[in-house]
Amino acid sequence: MRPLTDTTPKPLLQVHGKPLLQWHLEALARAGCTSALINTAWLGEQIEERFGAVFDTAGRAPIALSYSHEGRDFGGALETAGGIARALPRLCADPQAPADCIFWVAAGDVYAPDFVFDPAAVNAFAASGLLAHLWLVPNPAHHPQGDFGVSHPFAADAGAAPLALNLPTDSTQPRYTYSTIGLYRGALFAPPWCDMAPGNPGGVQAPLGPLLRAAMDAGLVSAALYTGRWTDVGTPERLQQLNSDPRQQP
């Protein structure tokens, strides 16, 4: 995203008049969420300066905000799994039982204004006993190969949600792209799936993909299809196109 991110962290780039991250926070507020933790790295202090300790939107309960400043504490981003493991003790209502913790994860550089952080989805996931539930999207032009397959078609009358599949590279089965929005259980970030120390005190950098793929191989990750507006704001060109497209306006 350079040169745009030379002076501005990506979650603060403007999309239709608001910082990119604000779209997620507003959606969480509509869903009744009252607390959120924001992982930061590059220029992360600007994010805390912008949003502070409370996100307040008219007619909704305020969201208490806290921050895990990976850049300040470790000199750079810990990647997704490393950052979640670092934040996990603070995400859990009972810090003594992080394996039982359930929480949303959403990347701060994705625009998905139609996504609903549905409490009913949280309840269904909690009852499932699975380690993760991912929202997948049709493959965008910049990622035509997709990420994961599914065990059966997405359909309202198909019964249980499909399982997400870690397909072999030579598989011809359809793949979808991970939207970077999902529900997670804290147990995914503990043995046998993850070998980082609790709270990741050493600041280990670790991607999320290997953990998800191992859990998929064990049949412990489900999936849903999200067909609303969605953009991975990964280049200045995509940001410009997003802001100039009237169909993307709220």
Q: Taking a C-beta distance cutoff of 8 angstroms, is the pair 51, 23 a contact?
A: no
pLDDT score recorded for residue 16: 92
- Residues near 30 by Cβ (< 8 Å), separated by ≥ 6? 60, 116, 117
* The pairing of beta strand 221-225 with beta strand 132-137: parallel
Q: At 78, is the pLDDT very low, low, confident or very high (cuts 50, 70, 90)?
A: very high
Write out the two tokens for 190.
């503990």
Q: Confidence band (pLDDT; 50, 70, 90) for 43?
A: confident
Instruction: Note the pLDDT of residue 64.
Output: 95
Pick the CATH number of 4-244 from 3.90.870.10, 3.30.70.20, 3.90.550.10, 3.40.50.300: 3.90.550.10
Other C-beta atoms within 10 Å of 192: how many?
8
Residue 209: is its pLDDT beyond 90? Answer: yes
Instruction: Write down the domain spans for the chain.
Output: 4-244
The residues, ordered by sequence, that sit 6+ positions from 187 with a Cβ below 8 Å of its Cβ are 99, 100, 131, 193
